[in-house]
Amino acid sequence: MIPKGQLLIIGGHEDKGAATGETLNTAKRGGTQTHFEILGCLIQKIPRAHHIIEIIATASAIPREMEALYIDSYKKEGFTHAGIIKLENDADGSDPNSIKRIQNSHAIFFTGGDQSKLVSLLRNTPLLAAIRKKYYADKNFIVGGTSAGAMAIPETIITGGLITEALFKGDINIGNGLNLIGGIIIDTHFINRGRFTRLAHAVALNPSCTGIGLGEDTALIISNGKTAHCMGSGMVIIIDGSKIRNTNINVSDNCTPIYIENLSIKILTKGCLYQLKEISD
């Protein structure tokens, strides 16, 4: 089933202090946009009287002093209403009021924080079912996420791992995500935190998935579940493991470095388009 809505995944770099009024993605050579601006640009292309966004976060992801900043920033970009849905316990994913808010929204946005915690509180809940239903049925609906909020979106996610001088069995943890899209694994803060080997490891373990390494200040807009459009001042690294021919990843022990041959690497920058693999239902 092809989703009608759009996904917006962002590599991170939120300024939590915001002392100078910067809210996300300070300008770099080549220019960039904040995620507020990107969402505002997308939503304003859709004519309607009101534009509503719901920000979804675990209880610890947005400090109380940041809530007003988020709401004000979205309103400056054309959203007539911005609300925050905080997930504190398992019951929050079944809250009828939150579900109704999702049904009435035009965009939702997952903040950064802890992808495993976000998934554990949201996966298999009526709230996520409402998001999924709207994403698949409404061509004007946008699901966005930054940092851990972006990493949580696919079916398969990185839940943690070590970054060392060599790859070893057990250095990475893979889990189930929110499953709004299949066939990809997302890693964020990709360049700044040196996460190439981590994503390569994840792809080698799941060669049917395409690895998407998002640099900070960089985003992909995914339409129809497959067409990815790159935005921002940084780069996106695409890691394709479908042609791996020689690796010891399935037989190595905890003390034997892993080797991988024939990974395919692509670099996307602002304006690039990339077609993701078709995923069978």
Beta bridge partner(s), residue 266: 238
Count of Cβ atoms closer than 10 Å to residue 178 Cβ: 24
Tell me the per-residue pLDDT of 45-95, one tens digit each, with 9 for 90 and over.
777 778 999 999 987 778 777 888 888 888 888 899 999 999 999 999 999
Give tens-digit pLDDT for 223-235.
999 999 999 888 9
Q: What is the mean pLDDT of residues 227-250?
A: 94
Task: Give pLDDT, residue 274.
Answer: 97
Decide if domain 6-14+28-275 falls under CATH 3.90.1150.10. Answer: no
Q: What is the pLDDT of residue 33?
A: 64
In the DSSP assignment, the letter for residue 278 is: P
Distance (Å, whole) CA 38 – CA 1: 26
Q: Which residues contact 145 (CB under 8 A, 6 or more apart)?
A: 8, 9, 10, 109, 110, 111, 151, 152, 153
Angle at 245 between CA 239 and CA 247, to 5 degrees: 85
Q: Whole-prediction pTM value?
A: 0.90
- Which 3 state secondary structure label does DSSP give 111? coil
Q: Which pLDDT score is estimated for 66?
A: 80
Q: In what order do the strands lie in the sheet with 210-214?
A: 184-187, 210-214, 236-240, 264-268
Higher pLDDT, 69 or 148: 148
| Average pLDDT score over residue span 130-145 | 96
pLDDT at 24: 40
37/15 Cα distance (integer angstroms): 15
Burial of 252 (0-12, 13-18, 19+ CB in 10 A): middle
Which pLDDT value is given to residue 15? 41
Confidence of residue 25 (pLDDT cuts 50, 70, 90): very low
Q: How far is CA 119 from CA 35, 54, 113, 159, 281, in A?
A: 22, 17, 11, 10, 22
List the Cα angle 64/70/72 in 5-degree steps. Answer: 115
The average pLDDT across 125-133 equals 98
**Residue 160: HSE in the Cβ half-sphere, 13 Å Cα cutoff:** 5
